[in-house]
Amino acid sequence: MDEQSNQRKEQPFAIERILDANLDRAREGLRIVEEWCRFGLNDTQLAEKCKQMRQEIASWHSSELRLARDTLEDVGTGLSHPQEETRSSVEQILQANLCRTQEAMRVLEEYGKLYKSGMGEAFKQMRYQVYIMESTLLTSRRRQQLKDTRLYLVTSPCEQLFSIVEAALKGGLTLVQYRDKNTDDIVRLANAQKLRQLCRDYGALFIMNDRVDLALAVDADGVHLGQQDLPIAVARQILGPQRIIGRSTTNPQEMEQAIAQGADYIGVGPVYETPTKAGKAAAGLEYVRHAVKHAPIPWFAIGGINLFNVKDVIDAGAERVAVVRAIMQAEDPTRVTQVFLSQLMKK
């Protein structure tokens, strides 16, 4: 048989084989997600949802479909995507497997219509449920990582921007904000893209300072907004519920407002006067003590914090700190990050 006629010839049980392969694919993808919900997030509700869906998928996997399987003849067996080998974070694994599950369900929806009444509709409904789960999962994963973060690096413009950030990530940093007030947008966009990727490679969150548009453009985990930046409600409308929104606060009233407006975290400072934010009066350790009592969301003490005074900030009650110069100007950013983290983890 020549190659052309081979391509055109419809194989026996083609529909059954498509359904068989995609039922397996959808179940496998869900299983991988389920394991993270159960052991990684300790979220029994989400884990149970995955399990229910796997059981529903299994109920469509009849012996007739299994019998149609012919692995040796399947030209797709053994094909793998190069990215499968390079996933470097749980987020990437989850996203790849949710995507794989959704694709398989879309195939089951279309070909299922030709096979059994109700199958197309059943997989359409399940696919929507997976979309909702994706949104919930991503949101809770980001929020959990934010909660677990103790040290936040806010960058300042410099030639070694990427190597410093990478060095800090190597030291265990889990949250980076790209802050660059005076660069052309075209450069800012490229830098943000590169930092975003770097953070992804190390499993860290990436936040864009000031700019909601750039946050979206580079698929940042969120944005940081000061009192003079966009209102939180407007940013939320643009960014949706999944992304993190941080707000700077300098006094109890700003803190109360930021919390009421739905900020995911707040900056609390400046604890000490700092040339990085020249002209802003220190709010002091008194304001840190106020945050301990009144901030129900994650908060970061910021402003003039370094390895010499961080103990005072911790003793005032801070569990999380944000720094610019202490890391950006450090001789050994990895080591400084490690020392900060060891101080902050003692609590």
Ligand X SMILES: Cc1ncc(COP(=O)(O)OP(=O)(O)O)c(N)n1
Ligand Y SMILES: Cc1nc(C(=O)O)sc1CCOP(=O)(O)O
Residue with tokens 């919930």: 136
Indicate the residue among 31 and 277 with the shorter CB distance to ligand Y: 277
Q: How far apart are the first and last CA of the chain?
A: 73
Shortest Å distance, C-beta 154 to ligand X:
5
Closest-approach residue to ligand X (CB): 226
Adjacent-strand bridge partners of 244: 222
Q: What are the φ and ψ backbone dihedral angles of 322, each rounded to 5 degrees?
A: -120, 140
Indicate the residue among 62 and 309 with the shorter CB distance to ligand X: 309
Residues 103-162 interacting with ligand X (rule: CB under 6 A): 152, 154
Q: What are the φ and ψ backbone dihedral angles of 208, each rounded to 5 degrees?
A: -100, 130
- Residues lying near ligand Y in the complex (CB under 6 A): 154, 248, 267, 269-270, 274, 276-277, 302-305, 323-326
Residue 113, annotated ligand binder?
Answer: no
Cα separation values, 49 from 44, 104, 233, Å: 8, 18, 31
Shortest Å distance, C-beta 200 to ligand X:
20
Indicate the residue among 177 and 334 with the shorter CB distance to Mg ion: 177
Residue with tokens 């869900």: 30
SS (H, E, C) 114-132: HHCCCHHHHHHHHHHHHHH
Residue 275, annotated ligand binder?
Answer: yes
Catalytic residue ranges = 179, 248, 277
The answer to whether the Cα torsion of 147, 150, 151, 154 is positive or negative is: positive
Do 255 and 295 touch, CB atoms closer than 8 A?
yes
Indicate the residue among 246 and 333 with the shorter CB distance to ligand X: 246
Shortest Å distance, C-beta 193 to ligand X:
20
Q: Which of 302, 313, 318, 326 binds ligand X (CB under 6 A)?
A: 302
Shortest Å distance, C-beta 229 to Mg ion:
5
Residue 277, annotated ligand binder?
Answer: yes
Indicate the residue among 270 and 333 with the shorter CB distance to ligand Y: 270
Q: Rounded CA gap, 25 and 20, in Å?
A: 9
Residue 111, annotated ligand binder?
Answer: no
Shortest Å distance, C-beta 320 to ligand X:
9
Adjacent-strand bridge partners of 267: 248, 300
Residue 203, both tokens:
């499993």
Q: Which does 177 bind (CB under 5 to 8 A by kind): ligand Y, Mg ion, ligand X, none?
A: ligand X
Which amino acid is located at 33 in the chain? V
- Residues of the shown chain interacting with ligand X in the complex, contacts defined by CB under 6 A: 152, 154, 177, 179, 209-210, 224, 226, 229, 246, 248, 267, 300, 302, 322
Known binding positions for Mg(2+): 210, 229
